[in-house]
Each structure stands twice: as structure tokens, then as C-alpha cells.
A and B are shown apart, each in its own frame.
Chain A
Amino acid sequence: MKALAIAALLAALPLAAHAADKTEAETALAAAVKAEDAAGQVGNRWVPAEAALKAAKAALAAGAWDKAVAEAAVAQAMANRAVEQSHEQETAWRDAVVR
């Protein structure tokens, strides 16, 4: 969780220096949507990833570019982690089976 927060922070950092524009926000959102779709493909959507994605979309619609970029970064980081988790679990689940 901490790692995610830091990743999101890092992703958002450069934008504090120069305010994001619409194109950057749209690009960030598209990347987040793509990542979340990949999480959906492996059946592992996370509730907070979807919430961040929703917030990013709302920010984009409201013209809040910086916020859109930041929320999209959170969503993307979480979605990537979800895909990794599913990947690990593809075999690791067997270790948990009661035997």
C-alpha cells in the first residue's frame, strides 16, 4: 500500500512543477483505462482502482487536469499491481490448498 502511494506520488510529482494540460490528462487516463481493462481481463478489478479511475474521469470532465493525472496514476499503479497479483496467484494459490 505504501509502495503504491509512493508510486502515485512520484508519478504526480513532475506535474506539481508544470501544470498538466488536457492532452496530458487524456493520455494519463487512457493509460489507466488500459491497465484497468487488463486487470478486468484476469478477473481482478480492485475497488480503489476503479474509484480512482472514476475520480480521474470526473476530474477530466471538470477540466481539473492535474487532479485527473494524479488519480489516473493511482488507478494505473493499482491496476498493474492487480495484474501482477493475478500472475503470481496463477500458481501460488495451490500452496494455500488444505491438504
Chain B
Amino acid sequence: MRKFRGAAALILVAGLLAGAAPAPAASLASAAADQKAFQDNFRSRFPAVPFADFANGPYSVNAPMRKQWEEIMQFPPYDFALDEGKTEFAKPFANGKTYADCFPNGGIGIRQDFPYFDGKTGEVVTLDLAINRCRQANGEKPLKYQTGMMASLTAYMAETSRGKPFDIKIPDDPRALAAYEAGKKYFYTRRGQLNFACASCHVGAAGQRMRGDILAPALGILAAFPIYRSDWGSMGTIDRRFTSCSAQMRSTPLPPQDPAYRNLEYFLSYMSNGVPISGPGTRP
């Protein structure tokens, strides 16, 4: 009895320390429930948008912009990157191996499986990170993450995966769940001088106009990457976009592929399971 009371007191103290309403424990089931609630939210707010169309970012929710897009797409500005990426992908490293040797299915049609949780290293691995690890394993220098050849390679690999739905798995491993939870927390946490969270703009205000842009819905938000943006005048990877959104929040961006950004990508991609890959994309 005394022992029991002691335990009860401990639990009470732990509850108080954790805050008034202790957060429900995360589990694979709660992650699946998060995903359903997230997708249902966008479906019910944008009933006219077919689910697969969330792969097209701002175009999915704005008709005039979509028309502009259809015009741009007569001469897609990412074509040069696609060609460059395709050539680079096939080019052997100095040791004679190629990118194809590093990936399942020779790297073709696999974009939808990234990022994945690597049980051996206990971390989230994005496609961009896997590309650089492949290079380094073969004695090559890593590529810069935000633009240039990294964007070209991921453009080519995305293009071979077009139409394949995001298929992100959370393995039954507490570390994978922790990575997912960290990404979720990052997405919803307000930070920076303007007191915004990622969710403030891409959930709450999705579809609304901000300066010259229409805010992309968070559902499917990474499906079109990498993208060509006219205001960048070049291609940009997911890291480039995360960096520029952090800066818009007056929050100092993290280094590309920082574990926090990788966990964020894991969360966003898992929320988007079922949305087809559409990359590379183009934005006005």
C-alpha cells in the first residue's frame, strides 16, 4: 500500500512536471491517426481538389495560377536540369561505379520511398543525403545541397518516379517514432521573430495569397521537388526551400540536411503518403 502510494505520488509529480495535460504517448497508431486527420483536413477544406492534385502545390488550389502554369509548361524551365541530371546519373565515378550501384532498382522510380528511417544508423535518410553518401562511399566529393548538380540529379530521379505515390514507412522502432515526433514538433512550433510556425502558413493559411505567392498546402508539399522558381532564377532542392522559409520567419536557417530538417521532411512526407510524386516542378 505504501509502495503504491509512493508510485502514485511519483506519477503525479511526473505529470505536473510535464505540464497540466500530459501529452498522449506517441505510437505507430497515433502517427497513422495524425496522417488521417491531416489528410482529411485538406480534403474537407478543398473538396474540389482531387487528392492526387495536391502533388502540384499552389496550383492545386488556385485556378488563375494553374492557367499560368499550363503556359509555362509548354517549355518547362527545368528541362536543362533534367538533361544534366540524367547525364550525370549515368556517368561512372573515377572508380568505375555509378549512382545506380548505390540504390535499389538502380535508382530508378524510387523517389517516393524517401526519406526513410535507417535502422542501422538510427537516423532519417533523405534522397539528397543518400546521393552524397553514395558519392563519398565511391571516393567523390559531396555536392552542395541547395542547387546545382544536386537539384539536377534529384530532378532526374524524381522524374523517373512520377505518378508513384509517397510510401513513407515508420518502422516499429522507437527511434523512428522519435524522429517522426521531432519532425512533427518542428512543423508546429512557432519560432523566429515573426512568431510563425511552418503550419501557420501551410496549414492555417494554405491557398491564401501572400505577397505574390499562393501558399502551398502542406499536404503533398514536397511532391514536386526539386523546383525551378522564377524568383530564384534557378533550381532549388528541399533544403533551399526550407532555408528560405526559415528566413521568411526571421528564424536563422539550419545547415542543409541538419537532423531537424531531415526529421521535418520525414514528417511532411509521411503526412503525404498516397500523393504522387510530380517532380521536378516549376513555380512562377
Interface residues of A (CB under 8 A from B): 1, 43-50, 78, 82, 85-86, 89, 91-94, 96-99
Contact of B203 among A43, A44, A92, A98 (CB under 8 A): A98
Q: Shortest distance in angstroms between A84's beta carbon and chain B's nearest beta carbon?
A: 11
Complexed CA–CA distance, A82 and B192 (Å)? 7
Residue of B nearest to A44 (CB): B191
Query: Given the interface contacts A98-B37, A98-B38, A99-B37, does A44 sit within 8 Å of B192 by beta carbon?
Result: yes
**4 interchain residue pairs of minimum CB distance:** A45-B252, A93-B188, A93-B189, A96-B188
For chain B, the bracket of interface size reads: 20 to 34
Stretch binding the partner chain, chosen from B101-109, B111-119, B193-201 = B193-201
Complexed CA–CA distance, A44 and B246 (Å)? 11
Complexed CA–CA distance, A99 and B200 (Å)? 15
B34 surroundings in chain A (CB, below 8 A) = 97-99
Interface residues of B (CB under 8 A from A): 19, 23, 34, 37-38, 41, 184-185, 188-193, 195, 197, 199-200, 203, 247, 250-252, 260
Complexed CA–CA distance, A46 and B23 (Å)? 28
For the A-B complex with A47-B247, A85-B195, A89-B191 known, give 7 more contacts whose Cβ atoms are closer than 8 Å: A44-B251, A46-B192, A46-B252, A47-B252, A93-B190, A96-B188, A97-B34
B203 surroundings in chain A (CB, below 8 A) = 96, 98
Contact of B252 among A50, A89, A96, A99 (CB under 8 A): A50
A98 surroundings in chain B (CB, below 8 A) = 34, 37-38, 41, 199, 203
Complexed CA–CA distance, A33 and B41 (Å)? 43
B250 surroundings in chain A (CB, below 8 A) = 46-48
Complexed CA–CA distance, A43 and B190 (Å)? 11
Residue of A nearest to B247 (CB): A47
Q: Is the CB of B195 within 8 A of A46?
A: no
Q: Is the CB of A85 within 8 A of B191?
A: yes
Q: Shortest distance in angstroms between A26's beta carbon and chain B's nearest beta carbon?
A: 24
Complexed CA–CA distance, A40 and B166 (Å)? 34
Q: Shortest distance in angstroms between B73's beta carbon and chain A's nearest beta carbon?
A: 31
Complexed CA–CA distance, A82 and B250 (Å)? 11
